[in-house]
């Protein structure tokens, strides 16, 4: 504890009269400084002799020796000493009379320090990721004292054994992929996550974009959660997400199986806009129109959906087979340059049979028909996650019929998070 600084005595005023000797003034100044120093350094019970203190026998000034500095008391309060079956995300709680100067380290059985953060306002240490199953950890809490000594508390605990009830967690996307600016991040769970645990799950799934971009998770169902930024991803940005769910409670005695990380690249911005009124698709790349394509949309009995969708998958050559759903009126047709945009089976694809009416009339079963040549041109330029907006048709896109993350406002989208 630092002692307040003692003000120096003010410089004495010059003597105006001749003949007064300056050494008298110097002696007075030294005496005043001595008295100030004595008063500042004596305790309440040790008065200076000129205040009536001192030894009753000798009558001299007798100051008590300064007591040893009091060490700050520290202790580990949780987990309890030698606790067993501690959960992997358990916080370490401690007490300290000087929390701001308290250091906390946690080491594993090999003596390696575990990464974590200390909240000195709450007296907590939190692990950066889930600890290992069935492993002994040692906590060391220390606080320095004024005289260079250190007060230390040490405690150990052992984490729980790996349970049999583990939930698989998977990412739809993988490391190194390049995707469009509308691509949502998609996480899936092997078992339904009860609502009371979803907020904690979100906290363990951290998204970092470079440059920084605001975004949020939204639960699509009890087994699927998506993430999107407030506006489309910035072109050519980087996205990294760490999903630390190993050992996280997922309800009814189930725990997350593992952690995972994904590193993505966002490509150039490509936006496709389709108007039923003009029967044309406008293709913009990085804000500039690069192509206008005649289209044929769904006829009135099988209309295309109006709304904002993204490219979900691509196939240069495939077969559309609806005979299982409709044995009487179903069809089986080879298709080129197919790009899925809904779960219900709406695609952008080449349709050479409708080239004569593309740009003038709707004849499809709900898909966006383009010519063979322009279908190939478009297919070779799009990425999964590129955005397509269709307007002016008889049917509105239903949320959930595909990756419809952009078919709602930001305010509506945020309502699907358990942290907002």
Catalytic residue IDs: 349, 367
Give the residue from 94, 104, 97 showing the smallest Cα distance to 142. Answer: 104
CA dihedral 388, 392, 394, 396 (to 10 degrees): 50
Three-point CA angle 242, 243, 244, nearest 5°: 110
The answer to whether the beta carbons of residues 353 and 337 sit under 8 Å apart is no
**Cβ atoms of 296 and 362 closer than 8 Å:** yes
Q: What is the DSSP letter of 417?
A: -
341 closest CA partner among 297, 308, 300, 379: 308
Tell me the C-alpha distance between 290 and 268, whole Å. 13
Alpha-carbon gap, residue 196 to 371, rounded angstroms: 50
What value, to the nearest 5°, has the Cα angle with vertex 85 and ends 84 and 91? 90
Give the CA distances from residue 342 to residues 79, 269, 306, 371, 388, in Å, rounded to whole numbers and listed in that order: 50, 21, 11, 20, 11
Q: What angle do CA 71, 74, 75 make, to 5 degrees?
A: 150
- Do 349 and 339 meet the contact criterion of CB atoms below 8 Å apart? yes
SS3 129: coil
Q: Sort 78 into a burial class: Cβ within 10 Å, 0-12 / 13-18 / 19+.
A: middle
**Whether 270 contacts 285, CB under 8 Å:** yes
State the number of CA atoms in the 13 A half-sphere of 224 facing the CB: 11
With 0-12 / 13-18 / 19 or more C-beta atoms within 10 angstroms meaning exposed / middle / buried, residue 378 is: buried
* Six token digits for residue 416: 């699907």
Which tokens hold the place of 67? 């007591």
């Amino acid at each position: 504890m630092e002692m307040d600084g003692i003000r120096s005595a003010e410089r004495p005023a010059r003597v105006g009269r001749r003949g007064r000797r300056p050494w008298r003034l110097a002696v007075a100044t030294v005496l005043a400084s001595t008295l100030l120093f004595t008063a500042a350094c004596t305790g309440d019970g040790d008065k200076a002799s000129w205040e009536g203190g001192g030894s009753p026998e000798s009558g001299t000034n007798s100051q008590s020796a300064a007591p040893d500095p009091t060490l700050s008391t520290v202790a580990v309060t949780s987990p309890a000493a030698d606790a067993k079956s501690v959960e992997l995300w358990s916080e370490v709680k401690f007490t300290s009379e000087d929390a701001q100067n308290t250091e906390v380290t946690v080491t594993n059985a090999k003596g390696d320090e575990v990464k974590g953060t200390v909240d000195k306002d709450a007296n907590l240490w939190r692990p950066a990721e889930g600890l290992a199953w069935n492993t002994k950890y040692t906590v060391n809490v220390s606080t320095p004292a004024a005289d260079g000594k250190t007060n230390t508390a040490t405690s150990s605990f052992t984490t729980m054994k790996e349970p049999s009830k583990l939930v698989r967690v998977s990412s739809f996307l993988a490391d190194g992929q390049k995707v469009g600016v509308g691509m949502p991040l998609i996480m899936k769970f092997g078992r339904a996550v009860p609502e009371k645990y979803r907020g904690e799950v979100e906290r363990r799934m951290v998204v970092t974009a470079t440059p920084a971009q605001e975004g949020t998770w939204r639960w699509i169902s009890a087994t699927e959660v998506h993430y999107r930024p407030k506006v489309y991803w910035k072109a050519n940005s980087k996205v990294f997400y760490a999903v630390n769910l190993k050992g996280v409670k997922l309800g009814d005695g189930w725990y997350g199986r593992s952690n995972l990380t994904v590193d993505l690249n966002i490509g150039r911005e490509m936006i496709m806009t389709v108007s039923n009124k003009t029967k044309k698709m406008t293709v913009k790349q990085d804000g500039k129109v690069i192509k206008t394509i005649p289209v044929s949309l769904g006829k009135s009995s099988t209309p295309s959906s109006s709304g904002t969708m993204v490219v979900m998958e691509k196939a240069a050559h495939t077969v559309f087979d609806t005979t299982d759903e409709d044995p009487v009126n179903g069809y089986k047709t080879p298709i080129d340059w197919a790009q899925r945009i809904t779960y219900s089976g709406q695609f952008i694809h080449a349709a050479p049979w409708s080239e004569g009416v593309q740009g003038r009339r709707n004849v499809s079963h709900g898909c966006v028909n383009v010519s063979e040549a322009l279908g190939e041109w478009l297919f070779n330029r799009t990425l999964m996650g590129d955005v397509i907006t269709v307007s002016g048709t008889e049917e509105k896109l239903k949320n959930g019929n595909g990756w419809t993350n952009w078919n709602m406002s930001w305010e509506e989208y945020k309502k699907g998070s358990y942290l907002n």
